[in-house]
Structure formats: structure tokens, C-alpha cells
Amino acid sequence: MNTSPSSVDNALVPESSHCEEHVDFVRWALAQLGISYAEDADGARFSLDEADREVFEGQSELRLAWRSAPTGSSWEPIDVQSRFGHWLLEKLRSAGPAVPTQPRFQPAAVNDVASKLLAAYRVDGGQVHLGGCQLEDFPFLRLSFAASEKGRPSVRHVFVAHDGSSVSDDLALNLGLLELEPIHKSQPRIDHITINTLLAAGRRIAAKKSSVRDPSATVAEPLVAAIVWVKHVSGKLLFTVGGTTIEHPFSGWAKLIEAQPYVSKTSGASSFHLGATDDGRIDAVDQIVPCECSGRRVLVQELVTCCVTGRHVLEEFTELCPVSGRPALSDEFAICPMCRQRVSQSVWQEKGCDACRQLTKIRANDPRLAWILGEHKGLDRWRRWRLAETQQAYIAQSERLMKRLLIVVDKESLTIRHLATSGKWASLWTPATGTARDELLR
């Protein structure tokens, strides 16, 4: 590593949004070295250990000038080229290839994360609790370079993520990489290979950030490297109602983690507010509603709307209306006086169901008529057919002389379900059975 002025002048310093004044860098470095100092607006002072006094002409106390030191005064300038600067960087580097440090503001314990997550959920008739949570330290790298911002000396930082990738400005800010402090408790372990891999990645990223302006330029040497230990959290929440428990895993940077809504595999709904159906399935509360027939609490997707009453009920209490094709409560059905089919009240009328009242003229070569006549030859004597279809049947009406004929034919088997006749102007139909039926069909 090189701290000579030429490193700034001849080699390019990587582009970065993360700059700080020397004074802030020195504050961080002193804290890292465990040197306590008294500070006022002009500077700081601290006692020197015996071993360090030689560098500073035997002084026992050092007075650092935060800004420019008056000439001839006993104030030490703090820029990286000064004797204090050299001494400080040497001290930092003596601990190893990278100084261990950590964001000043990040969750330190499982509880800090868990309490925030747990508070985000509500479980009606049940509870949410932690089913496991681990905090893990991930090493990020910070390379610091001597730079100059608007003519003033400064320190510029380049950050590298644990996987060797570049760290976006937003992520660096959000993870708290711009405000670092010493690690108070035991430091996470890191091997030389990992450090060297990160350093190599850092140099590549720094070179890339430098070559933006001049691809042939040499990259400046970093002043110091630091490993920033960033806490990552993973675990799962458990939602319990009665005897049912479901899991909701979470994972992310401890400082950034936010509660995520639970997404139900059954309903697909996402929510922070959960409940359970009467049969014990946990889902978003807004997906759980009572069946208006039985009162059972079920998923809204399991209900159908009765086309007669508009009530939302379980399918088991309904039947499909053959005319409308829609479900209706079983006690909302009646027999159509014309076609004798069981139809819902929504299509039933005294003179016949919607299908019977909406027969439309068909041509003699209509395939549906051809199928019916093919099965029942006797019907070929009739003319002027009109027809309607329901879910399971054809309803057809025909005329001949002064009589009318009504047939209801099963769509699948083409068997006659109902056969009736009436006078041309009569309103009532007489079912044809027995020999009358046989004669009509033969």
C-alpha cells in the first residue's frame, strides 16, 4: 500500500459516491484502534503510549487539528501524508490485511428482528410465534482511497459484497456501511482465502470504477481495507390456530428485513391477518366467510351464489339449474309445467321455464333434429319444429294439422324424457304415455 502524494496524482482513484472528510475517517480509525480522545471544535487530543512517542518527538500527548493546523503550532495535521497519517495507517494495517468493523446501526440480537416481525401479524383465535431465527455475519469489504473532493483532501470508499459483487449506493446506505464502528464482542472468524478473494474482487471493482475515465490508467492503492460484518437473518414464523400450524419463512439482511404477508397456497391471497376455517385450515381472514345455509366458516372460493336467492352457500346445498346452468339452493327448484324438468325458480314461470318459452325455429335439416328423428321415426310426420337446449336436454315443439307436440329428449342418449300433446290453441299439455306414446314415436 502506498500513501505517497503521487498515488493520488499519477494513479486514478475509483469513482464512488461514498466520500468522507479526513476528520471522519480519523475518528473511525481512532475508535477502531481503541484510542479514546477528547474533542472540541478545533480538534482532538489524546495520550500516546510509550511505544508511540518516538514518532512524535517524544510527545506524550497529541493534539490533532481537525482542519488546517496553524504553522509552527504544536497541532498535528491529520491528512494521510502527514506523520500522524502514516502512523495511523500503519497502526490499522498492523492488525492484518483488513480491519474488522461493523455498521453502527444494525440489529444485534435475534430479539431485535423477531419482535419487529412478530408485531406485523394477527392471527384470529390463534397465535404467531418464532419457529427459529439465526443471525449470521457476512463479510463485506471496504477499500478506502485518498482522494480530493472540490480541492479538499478526503477519503473515498468502494464497497464489495460478501459474494464479490459491487454494492449499489442504495444498498451501502441502507445497510449502514457508511457509519461504522469497532466490533465490541468477539469477532467473526474469517480465513485468509476469503479475505484474499474479497480483496481481489475489490481491486477488480476499483479498477472498473477507475477505468471509466481512462481505460489505460493505473488504479491507486487503497489506504486501508476493512471487513464490514453485516448481519443476515433467517428463520421462520409459525402461525397456529387450534391444532393447525403453518410456517412462514423469512430471510434477508437484518437491518432491512421487513415482514412479508403470508401467501396462502389454497386461496392465493396474501395477508398479515390470518384466521382459520371451521375445519382448521389457516388462511387470510378476508378469505374466510360463513356459508349462508349452514353457517360453517369456509373459504370464500368454496361458496357458490344461489341464482335464485343470491345467498353464498356451499355447493353441497345446491343443484345446477338445467336451464340457466347456474347453481341454486335445492329447495329453490320446481317442475316446469311444460317440459317437466326440475328447474330453478329463477327460470320457472307458470307457462313454462325460460327454455320452453324461448323455443326458436329450426330448419328441417338441423343436425339436432336429424339425430332425434333418426332415433324416433314416428316424429318425422311432424313439421315446423322449434327447439331449445338446456344443460341435459333438447326441448322441441312441432305442429301437425290442429295438434301440437312437445318432446324433451336426453342430449346424450336421445331417449325421450317427456312427451306431450295439446290442441293448437289449448294452453294445457297432456302427457302421452303407453300406447299413445308408442303411436307417436313409431
Binding residues vs Zn ion (CB under 5 A): 336, 338-339, 352-353, 356
Q: Whole-angstrom Cα distance, residue 102 to residue 99?
A: 10
Minimum Å gap between C-beta 367 and Zn ion is: 22
Q: Which run of H or E residues covers position 371?
A: helix 367-375
Residue 286 CB neighbour total at 10 angstroms: 12
Minimum Å gap between C-beta 271 and Zn ion is: 46
CA dihedral 406, 407, 408, 409 (to 10 degrees): -160
- Shorter beta-carbon distance to Zn ion: residue 313 or 336: 336
- Shorter beta-carbon distance to Zn ion: residue 175 or 338: 338
- Shorter beta-carbon distance to Zn ion: residue 264 or 397: 397
- Shorter beta-carbon distance to Zn ion: residue 238 or 359: 359
Assess contact for 23 and 68: CB atoms under 8 A.
no
Residue 11 CB burial class (10 angstroms; 0-12, 13-18, ≥19):
middle
Minimum Å gap between C-beta 387 and Zn ion is: 13
The candidate with the shortest Cα–Cα distance to 347, out of 390, 408, 286, is 390
Minimum Å gap between C-beta 341 and Zn ion is: 6
Minimum Å gap between C-beta 302 and Zn ion is: 31
- Shorter beta-carbon distance to Zn ion: residue 67 or 417: 417
CB neighbour list of residue 196: distance below 8 Å, 6 or more residues apart: 97
Q: Whole-angstrom Cα distance, residue 234 to residue 110?
A: 10
Assess contact for 339 and 393: CB atoms under 8 A.
yes
Q: Which three cell numbers stand for residue 441?
A: 314415436
Minimum Å gap between C-beta 321 and Zn ion is: 11
Q: Whole-angstrom Cα distance, residue 288 to residue 275?
A: 7
The candidate with the shortest Cα–Cα distance to 113, out of 20, 252, 261, is 252
- Shorter beta-carbon distance to Zn ion: residue 81 or 392: 392
Minimum Å gap between C-beta 383 and Zn ion is: 22
Q: Whole-angstrom Cα distance, residue 63 to residue 44?
A: 6
- Shorter beta-carbon distance to Zn ion: residue 235 or 322: 322
Q: Whole-angstrom Cα distance, residue 206 to residue 221?
A: 10
User: Can you list the pairs that 431-434 forms with residues at least 24 positions away whose Cβ atoms lie under 8 Å?
Assistant: 431/340
Minimum Å gap between C-beta 364 and Zn ion is: 24
- Shorter beta-carbon distance to Zn ion: residue 13 or 347: 347
